[in-house]
Structure 1
């Protein structure tokens, strides 16, 4: 199974189950910025105790490794769990969103992105990827997040909602980091 096939598999399942989701992380960075290698799929999924069973049932045991107890715990703790496709070595990080107003807003703002000719999926917006990557960098996530943001700014600068960005940069206490990144990007 190729990465885009696994992405299509999980997103199609979520669409069928009518569970809110958004592709995030490296896949979204690649969709909005510059290509880079990644071996996993990060997806925010608004799973509940009522929907977790059907979600887990969607991954046949012969093809996937999925710990139901870990999935149930992740839903109850609003954390994450993994789905692994052993024959390809690919992994899905299933992230249960926090019950914060910003996380609800991010999920509501998700937009359809054409992944292949016959498949589209809901992706987090480029503005929300920038905000989350700034936050991850601030928490010690490394310069990779800043490089990803620089790639998005390079490719999509004229299509970004800077009003939204600045509002949330200020709200999240990311102003200093945002201004430093802006200076760095404009210097290149």
Structure 2
């Protein structure tokens, strides 16, 4: 019986080994069928290369388009700068023209006022001469009037301390002569 049991054990072990070998063979066959062949691997590599080339070409087209846009924008910027310089020049020339016009108007206005003053002085002198007034006599008459006003109104005045705070222009005989001399009505002696 011992031989028989040993033979049985050996047959069972051999059957198990065969079964394991069959499983291993089936697994290997599955691995071989699941793994791609050289042709499939080559096709996959070609697909990857095509995709990379397409992606690279798209990136190059995009970069080229951006480069063209940058060149176009630089050209527009240069044109805008030139236009800006031209407009600034126009603005400066218009400012200068306006300044000249304003200065010309000021000069013309002062010339006109000077002519008016000279004309008024000459008319006043003509009136004095035509009226038979002598300037020295007229000046003496005006001084007499001034003295009369001082006498008439000077006696009636009452001192008021609040009037000291008022800033009144001071007039003197010398300043009156100076004003008349400025108008050319009298000659300085």
Q: TM-score range by the shorter chain?
A: under 0.3
Relative to the length of structure 1, the TM-score reads 0.18
Max radius of gyration: which structure?
A: 2
Structure with greater contact order relative to length (CA < 8 Å, sep ≥ 6): 1
TM-score of the superposition, structure 2-length normalised? 0.18
Which has more strand, going by share of residues? 1
